[in-house]
Amino acid sequence: MIDQYDMMSVVEKHRTDEIVIACERANTAWPTISTKPDLDTSSSVMGKGSSIALGIALAKPDTKVIVFDGDGSLLMNLGTLATIANKKPKNLYHIVIENGMYATTGGQPLPAGDQISLIGLSKEAGYASVFQFDDLEEFTNRWQGVLQEPGPVFISVKTVPNPRPKDEILDDPKDSRRSMPESFVFLRKELSE
């Protein structure tokens, strides 16, 4: 299994001008890793990060869009797999952090989590390419090649469970680095230049 922070650090190391949407638990780590906050946005609406990423990918077809999604988050919006596959955005890279739990809300296990193959679902939905990683060295060696594949690309990353400490769960969302509307203003400005 891979540490989520280490995996995200690999993505950042090779990042150029990709827009990154960090969802749920990923939004805790990504702001501390990213060196391009004006190209970052977040989704605090569980299950909707991939939908937001699709919208941005369709609006900016010449810019690669990476979304850090969670397995629990994706399970709440499985229809997004079919929608993304149907729209065929060649610039969308859907990274799903598979830790087998709802990490944002305290680590509750996913219902039937070990019986569902998100790789299988994304492949059957029609994603152009699917990848699965559970070793950091392999992820590191292959990431740049994955990012050259035409999308939509689904990337499952088996990660070490990292539930949010219960004393952080009721944090005020206003404490995030930037609200979603503020992020869109920054993205719009950055992408129009």
Structural domains of the chain ordered from first start: 4-192 (3.40.50.970)
Instruction: Output the pLDDT for position 112.
Output: 72
Instruction: Output the pLDDT for position 70.
Output: 87
Instruction: Output the pLDDT for position 170.
Output: 43
Q: How far is CA 96 from the centre of its chain?
A: 6
How confident is the chain (193 residues) per 10-residue block, as mean pLDDT? 92 95 78 86 74 96 95 89 98 91 63 83 97 98 98 94 51 52 68 68
104-134 as b/e, with b when 16 or more CB fall inside 10 Å?
beebeebeebeeeebbebbbebebbebbbbe
Give the up-direction half-sphere exposure of residue 162: CA atoms within 13 A in the CB hemisphere. 18
Query: Rounded to 5 degrees, what are φ and ψ at 72?
Result: -65, -40
User: Checking DSSP bridges between strand 40-43 and strand 129-133, what pairing results, if any?
Assistant: unpaired
